[in-house]
Amino acid sequence: MKKPKFLNEKIVSSIVSKTGKTRKIKNLRIISFYQLYKLLDKKEIDLIKNFLKLNPRKYGFRGKFLGIKKIPSNLVTIKDQFLPKLAYLAYQKMNKALKKETGKKLLIASGYRSPAYQAIVFLRCLKENKFDFLKTAKGVAFPGYSEHGNPVNHAIDFCPENFEKTEEYKWLIQNANKYGFYLSYPEGNGDGVMFEPWHWRFSG
């Protein structure tokens, strides 16, 4: 299946360039659609709006629509990342237990992402994947379908690479649910998403 016709490569590249260089938005990860559209021209805005109309189930994703929700007001900042307060408190408690038992710490690679930022992430990855839409849809959620944009059942991505081979991952498998965290996409998951050992959902 080919990529949707409206995803013009030049327009996508322009959006990626503008959102990658701009300093007008202090925290791009929590950008609103209103703020995003102020950076773009009409063709770019139309592309984003058409993208939001797509149904990812046509491209293999079988997860739930979580909604395009408002950016929560209780976000806690961790360096350049953000977490809803309850998820942050649970993460802190879990990290403390992990360090006590193993001497290791969980580092956050990605926390909260606004739906508008999720659209930017998808388009960036689409360009990186040489506009292979199916490949991108397999690894990056559409806006409204990403657990990173869900203020309640929120997801955190941990680093480093090859996370499934780390002591931290083994500890999480045994203990994360005690703190309200669950592996969202294990191997063979029913959502049509590749195995993501680093991606844990807070459902406390």
Interval 92-111: pLDDT, tens: 999 999 999 999 999 999 99
Q: Quick one: pLDDT at residue 153?
A: 85
Q: Quick one: pLDDT at residue 63?
A: 86
Q: Quick one: pLDDT at residue 3?
A: 81
Domains in the chain, CATH or no CATH each = 9-202 (3.30.1380.10)
| Residue 130 φ/ψ, nearest 5 degrees | 55, 40
Instruction: Kindly give the parts of the chain with pLDDT less than 70.
Output: 1, 22-25
Q: Quick one: pLDDT at residue 1?
A: 64
| Rounded CA separation 187/4 (Å) | 28
| Rounded CA separation 200/44 (Å) | 33
Strands (E) located in the chain: 75-78, 81-84, 107-110, 154-159, 181-183, 199-202
Q: Which class for 194: exposed (0-12), middle (13-18), buried (19 or more C-beta within 10 A)?
A: exposed
Helices and strands (H and E) in the chain: how many: 7, 6
pLDDT digits (tens, 9 = 90+) for 176-198: 999 999 999 999 999 988 899 99
Model confidence, pTM? 0.90
| Rounded CA separation 137/87 (Å) | 26
- According to DSSP, the residues that pair with 155 across neighbouring strands are 201
Q: Quick one: pLDDT at residue 152?
A: 81
